[in-house]
C-alpha cells in the first residue's frame, strides 16, 4: 500500500539566535481550539492525511484482525460485566453504581435507608442514545443534599469542554439553564439553592469560579473568584466538616487557597496563606481545627494544625520524613487515617484521636501491593471504613473494617469470570542503578512459566512527569500479554513521586534527561539480567510518557523491538514556545519556559523528540492520537510521524492511528476502551511474532 505523505511547506523558525526548519508546522491551525470542538473546521488536506494514515494502519494490521477479536473477547471475559459498586450511605439514601453486560456506561442507583425499593436515577447508555452522539464523556454526577436534584456534566466531543445540566430526579425535567464551557465539576450548596462550578477561558483554562442559582434560566451567574495568573487553574470543594468552601488555585508546584463559610449569603473568599513559588499547601477543616498538608520547610510534605485561620498558629501534627511522601488525611469522629509513600509503595496509618496512638493498617503479606481506604457513609460518627488492596497479580479485595474492634469482613472481591490463579504469576520489586548512581525501583510481573534466559519479550512501561507515581495495582488486561510470555515491567523513574518530591525535582526542568536515562538504564538492567534481550523490548508510554518514548527511541533505538506511544507529547519545543495553548503556561515549572529562558530553550531543544529525529534505523512504532485532544494536540504525533517517515532508514512498521471522535483519554465507553488496548496489544504480538 502507498505510504501516506504529508506535504512539506518549510518554515524557518528562530529563537535565541538559533534557527531551525520545520516542514510540517503548517498543519497547526490558528483556530485549533475551535477545531477541537468542531472537526468540520479541520483543514481538508490534514484530514485526508490523517485518514490515509488510518487506512495504512488498518492495512498493516489486517492480519491481526483475528487476534484482535480474540484479545477483545478474553479481556472482556475477565470483567464482571453485571457488577455493582459498594453502597455509600448519605443522610436519607444509599447510593451506588452498576454496570450491565449489554451497556457501555454506568447506571446510578439509590434506595431510601430502610427501604428495599431501588430507584434508577441515571443510565449512561440511555442518555447517550438520547443525544445520538458517538463520544459520551461524563465529567461529574452529583445529587443535591436534599436528594431531589441531579447535577451532571457532559462532553460529547472529547475536547473536555463540559456542559452542566440540573434535573429534577422525580420527573427528569431540566430545572435550570445549561452551563457551557466548564471544567465539569459540580458542587451543590448545602441549602441546594446554588451550585458552584469553574468556567474555562478562551485558552481552555479554568480560572473563574461561579455560583449559579438553581432554577434560574435567565440571569448571569455570579462570579465568586477569578485567578489573574494564566499559569494557575482553580477548583472549589467542601471541607470534611462541611463548614467551609475551599477554593484552590495552583499550577503544578505552587498553590494558594481561599475559604468562605457555607452560610455566607454573599460568598467572600478570604486568603489563607499567600502563594509562594514552589510551595504547595492544602487546608482542610475538622472538629474545630484546621489541617494544612504542605511542603513548606518539608520537601516531602508534613501536616500542620491550627485552631483558627484568622489568627494562624501552625504547629506540626505529622512531621516530615526524608524521601517519604506524607499524604493527606481522612477524618472520622474518633479516627484520622493517613497515607505515606516510599520506594514506590504506599502505606496506610490510623490515629486513635482519644489516645493519639497511631498504627499501620496491613491487610496483605504481599511485598508489592496497593492499599486503599474510603468512607462507608457521610455521617462521620462511625468506626467503619472500606479498606482495600490489590497487587500486580492479586485482583482488588475490599473489606468493611472496624477501626475499634479491628474486625474485618470481605464485602467485595474483583471477580475474573474467565478465571485467574494468582499462583501462576511472579511479582518482583528490584532496584537498579541509573547513570548517576541513583537507585530506581522497577516492578516486574511475569508468568511463572516464562523463562528468565533472555528469550522473552518484555513490555517496559514508563511515565515520569508531573510528580505522577505509577501504582503497582492489578490490571486484568495485562494478563493477555503476560500469559503469552511477554513480561510486564514498570519503571518508577524520576519525574514521578515514588520516592518523594526530590524524585520529581530530579526529573523535571533541566533535570528532565534523568527521566530518559532512568528508563534506558531500566532496559539495560533487564537485558543484563536475562529477563529479555537487546531488540526484544517493547516500550510503552502515553502523553508525557509519549515524550519519554520519543526521547528514548531517538537516543537508544537498538534496545527496542517496538515502541507504543499514545497521545504522545513529541513536539514539546513547539508547544512550549506557544503560550496560547491550554497547558503550556501552567507547565513552565515542569518543563521550563523556552521562549524567555535560553538555558531552558537549549535544554528542551536538545531532547524534544520531533527536533531530534535522526537518519537511522528505528524499531517498529505504533502511535495513537485523538482529533479532539486539547492536552496534546493531534498535530504533534502527526508531524512526528511525517518527519520520521522522511528520516528513518529501516523497513520497520511506522503506524499512526487517529481517533476522529475522541479526546485525550481515547474512546468513551467500556468497549471503546477495550478496543484501544486491543490495538496496542495486537501490535505488540505482531512484532513479537506471536500471531
Give pLDDT tens digits for 482-509: 999 999 999 999 999 999 999 999 999 9
pLDDT at 435: 98
Please name which of 292, 344, 302 lies closest in space to residue 322, comparing C-alpha atoms: 302
Contact 240, 284 (CB under 8 A): yes
pLDDT tens, position by position, 269-309: 999 999 999 999 999 999 999 999 999 999 999 999 999 99
Contact 556, 613 (CB under 8 A): no
Q: For residue 128, name the pLDDT band (cuts at 50, 70, 90).
A: very high
Check pLDDT > 90 for residue 351.
yes
Q: Which three cell numbers stand for residue 78?
A: 475477565
Q: In percent, how much of the chain has pLDDT > 70?
A: 100
pLDDT at 33: 86
Mean pLDDT over 116-121 rounds to: 97
Check pLDDT > 90 for residue 583.
no
pTM equals 0.93
C-alpha–C-alpha distance, residues 658 and 568, integer Å: 12
C-alpha–C-alpha distance, residues 461 and 442, integer Å: 10
Mean pLDDT over 378-402 rounds to: 97
Tell me, what DSSP letter sits at residue 2? P
Of 11-25, 189-203, 250-264, 579-593, least confident by mean pLDDT is 579-593
pLDDT at 664: 86
pLDDT at 71: 98
C-alpha–C-alpha distance, residues 469 and 575, integer Å: 24
Cβ neighbours of residue 129 closer than 8 Å, sequence gap 6 or more = none
Cβ neighbours of residue 162 closer than 8 Å, sequence gap 6 or more = 137, 139, 140, 153, 154, 155, 181, 182, 183, 184
Q: For residue 586, name the pLDDT band (cuts at 50, 70, 90).
A: confident
Please name which of 433, 432, 511 lies closest in space to residue 465, comparing C-alpha atoms: 511
DSSP assignments along 356-420, one per residue: TEEEEE-----SS-EEEEEESBS----SEEEEEEE-SSS--EEEEEETTT--EEEEEE---TT--
Angle (CA) 305 306 308, round 5°: 150
Mean pLDDT over 637-653 rounds to: 98
Contact 487, 540 (CB under 8 A): no
What is the bridge-based pairing of β-strands 325-331 and 335-342? Answer: antiparallel
pLDDT tens, position by position, 612-632: 999 999 999 999 999 988 889
Please name which of 548, 417, 538 lies closest in space to residue 484, comparing C-alpha atoms: 538
C-alpha–C-alpha distance, residues 266 and 246, integer Å: 15
Q: Output the CA–CA distances (angstroms, integers) from residue 455 to 519, 564, 688, in the order listed.
A: 21, 21, 11
For 156-301, where are the E strands, in sequence order? Answer: 162-168, 179-182, 187-188, 194-200, 206-213, 222-226, 233-238, 244-250, 255-261, 270-273, 281-286, 289-294
Q: Which three cell numbers stand for residue 224?
A: 465568586
In whole numbers, what is the pLDDT of the chain averaged over residues?
96
Q: Which three cell numbers stand for residue 142?
A: 452529583
pLDDT at 140: 97
**How many CB atoms are located within 10 Å of the residue 612 CB?**
15
Instruction: State residue 174 phi and psi, 5-degree precision.
Output: -70, 130
Q: Output the CA–CA distances (angstroms, integers) from residue 340 to 61, 255, 277, 649, in the order listed.
A: 44, 21, 24, 48
Check pLDDT > 90 for residue 662.
no
pLDDT tens, position by position, 507-517: 999 999 999 99
Q: Which three cell numbers stand for residue 166?
A: 440540573
C-alpha–C-alpha distance, residues 326 and 341, integer Å: 7
pLDDT at 661: 87
**How many CB atoms are located within 10 Å of the residue 168 CB?**
14
Amino acid at each position: 500500500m502507498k505510504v501516506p505523505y504529508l506535504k512539506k511547506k518549510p518554515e524557518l523558525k528562530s529563537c535565541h539566535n538559533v534557527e531551525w526548519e520545520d516542514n510540517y508546522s503548517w498543519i497547526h491551525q490558528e483556530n485549533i481550539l475551535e477545531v477541537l470542538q468542531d472537526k468540520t473546521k479541520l483543514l481538508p488536506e490534514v484530514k485526508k492525511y490523517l485518514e490515509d494514515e488510518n487506512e495504512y494502519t488498518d492495512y498493516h494490521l489486517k492480519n491481526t484482525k483475528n487476534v484482535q477479536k480474540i484479545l477483545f473477547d478474553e479481556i472482556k471475559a475477565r470483567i464482571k460485566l453485571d457488577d455493582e459498586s459498594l453502597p455509600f450511605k448519605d443522610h436519607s439514601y444509599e447510593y451506588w453504581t452498576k454496570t450491565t453486560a449489554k451497556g457501555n456506561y454506568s447506571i446510578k442507583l439509590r434506595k431510601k435507608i430502610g427501604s428495599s425499593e431501588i430507584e434508577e436515577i441515571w443510565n449512561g447508555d440511555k442518555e447517550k442514545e438520547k443525544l445520538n452522539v458517538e463520544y459520551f464523556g461524563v465529567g461529574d454526577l452529583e445529587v443535591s443534599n436534599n436528594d431531589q436534584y441531579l447535577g451532571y456534566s457532559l462532553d460529547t466531543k472529547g475536547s473536555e469542554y463540559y456542559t452542566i445540566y440540573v434535573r429534577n430526579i422525580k420527573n427528569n425535567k431540566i430545572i435550570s439553564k445549561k452551563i457551557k464551557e466548564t471544567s465539569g465539576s459540580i458542587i451543590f450548596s448545602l441549602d441546594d439553592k446554588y451550585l458552584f462550578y469553574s468556567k474555562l477561558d478562551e485558552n481552555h483554562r479554568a480560572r473563574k469560579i461561579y455560583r449559579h442559582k438553581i432554577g434560574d434560566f435567565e440571569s448571569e451567574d455570579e462570579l465568586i473568584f477569578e485567578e489573574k495568573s494564566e499559569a494557575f487553574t482553580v477548583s472549589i470543594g467542601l471541607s470534611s466538616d462541611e463548614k467551609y468552601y475551599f477554593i484552590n488555585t495552583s499550577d503544578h508546584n505552587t498553590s494558594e487557597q481561599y475559604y468562605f463559610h457555607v452560610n455566607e449569603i454573599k460568598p467572600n473568599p478570604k486568603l489563607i496563606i499567600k502563594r509562594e513559588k514552589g510551595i504547595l499547601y492544602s487546608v482542610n477543616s475538622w472538629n474545630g481545627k484546621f489541617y494544612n498538608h504542605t511542603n513548606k520547610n518539608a520537601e516531602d510534605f508534613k501536616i500542620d494544625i491550627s485552631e483558627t485561620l484568622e489568627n494562624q498558629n501552625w504547629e506540626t501534627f505529622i512531621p516530615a520524613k526524608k524521601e517519604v511522601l506524607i499524604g493527606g488525611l481522612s477524618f472520622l469522629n474518633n479516627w484520622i487515617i493517613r497515607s505515606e509513600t516510599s520506594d514506590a509503595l504506599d502505606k496506610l496509618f490510623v490515629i486513635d484521636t482519644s489516645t493519639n496512638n497511631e498504627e499501620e493498617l496491613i491487610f496483605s503479606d504481599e511485598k508489592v501491593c496497593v492499599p486503599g481506604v474510603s468512607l462507608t457513609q457521610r455521617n462521620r460518627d462511625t468506626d467503619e471504613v472500606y479498606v482495600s488492596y490489590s497487587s500486580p497479580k492479586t485482583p482488588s479485595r475490599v473489606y468493611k473494617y472496624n477501626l475499634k474492634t479491628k474486625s474485618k469482613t470481605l464485602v467485595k472481591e474483583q471477580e475474573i469470570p474467565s478465571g485467574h490463579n494468582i499462583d501462576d504469576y511472579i511479582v518482583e520489586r528490584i532496584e537498579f542503578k541509573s547513570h548517576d548512581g541513583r537507585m530506581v525501583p522497577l516492578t516486574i510481573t511475569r508468568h511463572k512459566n516464562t523463562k528468565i534466559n533472555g528469550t522473552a519479550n518484555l513490555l517496559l512501561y514508563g511515565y515520569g512527569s508531573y510528580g505522577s507515581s505509577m501504582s503497582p495495582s492489578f490490571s486484568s488486561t495485562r494478563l493477555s500479554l503476560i500469559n503469552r510470555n511477554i513480561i510486564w515491567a514498570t519503571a518508577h523513574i524520576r519525574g514521578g513521586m515514588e520516592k518523594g518530591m526530590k524524585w520529581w525535582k530530579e526529573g523535571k526542568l533541566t533535570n528532565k534527561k534523568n527521566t530518559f536515562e532512568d528508563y534506558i538504564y531500566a532496559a539495560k538492567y533487564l537485558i543484563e539480567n536475562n529477563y529479555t534481550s537487546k531488540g526484544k523490548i517493547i516500550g510503552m508510554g502515553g502523553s508525557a510518557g509519549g515524550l519519554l518514548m520519543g526521547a528514548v527511541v531517538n537516543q537508544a533505538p537498538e534496545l527496542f523491538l517496538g515502541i507504543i506511544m499514545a497521545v504522545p507529547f513529541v513536539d514539546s519545543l513547539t508547544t512550549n514556545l506557544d503560550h496560547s495553548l491550554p497547558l503550556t503556561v501552567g507547565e513552565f515549572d515542569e518543563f521550563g519556559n523556552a521562549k524567555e529562558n535560553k538555558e531552558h530553550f537549549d535544554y528542551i531543544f536538545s531532547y524534544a523528540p520531533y527536533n531530534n529525529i535522526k537518519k537511522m534505523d528505528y524499531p517498529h512504532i505504533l502511535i495513537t492520537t485523538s482529533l479532539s485532544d486539547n492536552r496534546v494536540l493531534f498535530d504533534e504525533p502527526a508531524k512526528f510521524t511525517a518527519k520520521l517517515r522522511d528520516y528513518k532508514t529501516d523497513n520497520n512498521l511506522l503506524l499512526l492511528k487517529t481517533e476522529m471522535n475522541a479526546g485525550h483519554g481515547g474512546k468513551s465507553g467500556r468497549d471503546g476502551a477495550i478496543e484501544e488496548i486491543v490495538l496496542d496489544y495486537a501490535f505488540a504480538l505482531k512484532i513479537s511474532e506471536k500471531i
